[in-house]
Amino acid sequence: MAKISVSDTKGKEVEQLALDARIFDGKINEPLMHQAVVAYLANQRKGVASTKTKAKVRGGGRKPWRQKGTGRARVGSIRSPLWRGGGVTFGPHPRSYRKEFPKRMKVLALKSALNLKLRDKELVVLDELKADSHKTKKFLAIMKKLKLADMKVRFIVEKCGKNLLLASRNIQKVAVEPGHTLTTYEALDCQKIVFTKDALIKTQERIKKWVS
């Protein structure tokens, strides 16, 4: 059974935490993670881009000149797509980019992402993460002691306290979120993923339900 060291906010090891062998089994399914990331990003798209066709552009009701006898090309409307100010041919219209992705596949992709982070030594566990103050300076001090300064870090906690959110929100490349919302994309999109001990245990329980 694999174990991982648990540190306090000063960077000192306080214990060794046994990882669930059914979840942290070293198996990494890259195609599945890719599908999860593509589906996640597609579902973030709004799909509100819109253009007007020839029929929707205002004006152009009168024929500019008669059909024959002028020596010029025949034109039915000044709102033709060939004209400046005319409609747009094959332009974008509001649509949904949503991709359905089964829940089991989402969870197994997250399992692979956590195994990848553990393999690359990018997974850190803290005994707890609390903020007594909303001051960003104090949160930065914690990051320096953990040797995480100037890195893209995602902190995963069981519950996000108000002070913790306020103290971290102005730091570039740092995010704090509860474990139950963690996705494969978010797990991969950071240099270090930092779990509190309770959040990691809860995340393992969440994944365990879907692991055969």
Length of the chain: 212
pTM comes to 0.84
Q: Domain-by-domain residue ranges, the chain? A: 3-45+102-208, 47-96
Residue-by-residue DSSP string for the chain:
--EEEEE-TTS-EEEEEEPPTTTSSS---HHHHHHHHHHHHHHH---------TTTSS---S-SS-SSSSSSPP-S-TTSTTSTT---TT------------HHHHHHHHHHHHHHHHHTT-EEEES----SS--HHHHHHHHHHTT-TTS-EEEEESS--HHHHHHHTTSTTEEEEEGGG--HHHHHSSSEEEEEHHHHHHHHHHHHTT--
Cα separation, 124 vs 193, in Å, equals 6
pLDDT at residue number 131: 81
Q: Is residue 192 predicted with pLDDT exceeding 90? A: yes
Tokens linked to 141? 């001090």
Tens digit of each residue's pLDDT (9 = 90 or more) over 58-105:
998 999 999 999 999 999 999 999 999 999 999 999 999 999 999 999
pLDDT at residue number 101: 94
Cα separation, 205 vs 192, in Å, equals 22
The 10 Å Cβ neighbour count of residue 187 is 24
Tens digit of each residue's pLDDT (9 = 90 or more) over 17-71:
999 999 999 999 999 999 999 999 999 999 999 999 999 999 989 999 999 999 9
Give CA angle at 121 (119, 123), nearest 5°: 100
Q: Is residue 1 predicted with pLDDT exceeding 80? A: no
Tens digit of each residue's pLDDT (9 = 90 or more) over 125-170:
999 888 888 899 988 998 999 999 889 999 999 888 888 899 899 8
pLDDT at residue number 11: 85
What CATH code would you report for 3-45+102-208? 3.40.1370.10
Cα separation, 113 vs 105, in Å, equals 12
pLDDT at residue number 212: 66
Q: What strands lie across the sheet with 192-196, from one edge to the other? A: 13-18, 3-7, 123-126, 192-196, 153-157, 174-178
pLDDT at residue number 78: 94
- Torsion sign (Cα): 116, 121, 126, 132: negative
pLDDT at residue number 200: 94
Query: Angle 30-44/103-119 helices, nearest 10 degrees?
Result: 120
